Amino acid sequence: MTIPSANSQDPLKDLYTDWSEILAATPNLTTRLFRSIFDEWHQPTKEPEDVTYAEGTVGGVLGIWCHPAGAEAAKVLLYTHGGGFAVGSAQSHRKLAAHVAKAVGATAFVLDYRRAPEHPHPAGLEDTVSAFLALVEQGIRPGDITTIGDSAGGNLAVAAALALKERNHPLPGSVVAFSPWLDMENAGETLASNDATDALISVPLLEGMIAGVLGDQTSPTAPLANPLYGDFSGFPRLYINAGGDEALLDNATRLARIADEAGVDVTLSVVAGQQHVFPFNAGRTAAADDEIARLAKWYRA
């Protein structure tokens, strides 16, 4: 294992390169070891100052609260971690969520939602919806909740708002998707065009994760599994970002186009030369810090 250097120009890319080498050399990793590797995701992220953490349960779902000093307790980021619906955790993402929470002046709850393949779709989605509704029941205004996530968690952040709308529940005030992974058909053009520049994502890796989360019961075009098929009329404000070098870039651009065509107030930020979920470099690179600052300005607008 190579721990990314704080002096690296791109600590996240270094970590992804190391993971890719491990995965290539160890094709039969158990789910437990696969998850252990991806729990290193926090390593490129500098620990934010003036933030405390507390384990908690919201809507029956375990997770970690991030409490920046001076943050508004009545404004909540409901954060769903990435990891192909199968890996990643509240622990691997707490620092990233805390950086964002600190920047926007809110608290954050990072969900440890049920993961595939033990719990295929819609388990993670239902956990996200349950947590949202529980926050509302606890007195948090729906408009003061933001569903936010990265990669597969970005999918859940978007799909949760779609599910709430479909079920006639109140909607979050905004939705944020970092490098969202939405395309369960694996049909995106940048899977090929950015294959050489993406240090982690590959078609075979995605195929395995799709099989785990969808199983034999869910269509890859089901709108709550693949939000690119969703109905975005009446959808909340939406912020999407992606790295210019990542293979899932067109998931972000397609989502932005679909949302815009539906009349959504959507902002798309694509940063050249960056990897999948590049805000993980928070506190380490200007690209990550500048992106979080742009998001904070958008959030407060």
Instruction: Return contacts of 11-17, CB within 8 angstroms, 24+ apart.
Output: 11/43, 11/44, 11/281, 11/284, 11/285, 12/44, 12/275, 12/277, 12/278, 12/280, 12/281, 13/199, 13/275, 14/44, 15/40, 15/41, 15/43, 15/44, 16/199, 16/200, 16/275, 16/276, 17/199
pLDDT(3) > 70:
no
The Cα 150–Cα 97 span in angstroms is 10
The Cα 39–Cα 19 span in angstroms is 11
Q: Residue 230: inside a domain, yes or no?
A: yes
Q: Residue 3: inside a domain, yes or no?
A: no
The Cα 222–Cα 248 span in angstroms is 19
In this prediction, residue 166 carries a pLDDT of 98
CATH number of the domain within which 160 lies: 3.40.50.1820
Q: Would you say 126 and 95 are in contact if contact means Cβ atoms under 8 Å apart?
A: no
First vs last C-alpha separation in the chain = 42
The residues, any chain, with a CB within 8 Å of residue 204's CB and separated by 6 or more, are: none
pLDDT(50) > 60:
yes
Strands 61-68 and 51-58 come out as antiparallel
228: nearest Cα among 207, 255, 268, 203 = 255
Q: Residue 179: inside a domain, yes or no?
A: yes
Q: Quickly state the pLDDT bin for 7 (edges 50, 70, 90).
A: low
Q: Report whether the peptide linkage leading into residue 223 is cis, meaning its omega lies within 30 degrees of zero.
A: no
Q: Residue 4: inside a domain, yes or no?
A: no
What share of the chain in percent tops pLDDT 90? 96
The Cα 229–Cα 109 span in angstroms is 28
Region class of 257: left (phi > 0), else alpha (psi between -120 and 50), else beta: alpha
pLDDT(19) > 60:
yes
Which are the catalytic amino acids? 151, 246, 276
Instruction: Say how many domains are in the chain.
Output: 1
Q: Residue 33: inside a domain, yes or no?
A: yes
The Cα 190–Cα 273 span in angstroms is 14
Q: Residue 73: inside a domain, yes or no?
A: yes
In this prediction, residue 8 carries a pLDDT of 76
Q: In this structure, how many other beta carbons lie within 10 angstroms of the beta carbon of residue 93?
A: 30
Question: What per-residue string of b and e applies to 68-88 under the rule 16 or more CB within 10 Å gives b?
Answer: beebeeebbbbbbbbbbbbbb
The parent domain of residue 244 ranges over 11-300
Q: Which two tokens stand for residue 224?
A: 């709550």
pLDDT(254) > 50:
yes
Average confidence score pLDDT of the chain: 96
Q: Residue 122: inside a domain, yes or no?
A: yes
Q: Which residue do the tokens 């070098």 mark?
A: 245
Question: What per-residue string of b and e applies to 104-117 under the rule 16 or more CB within 10 Å gives b?
Answer: bebbbbbbbbbbbe
pTM (2 decimals)?
0.97
pLDDT(102) > 50:
yes
pLDDT(5) > 70:
no
In this prediction, residue 1 carries a pLDDT of 38
Q: Residue 2: inside a domain, yes or no?
A: no
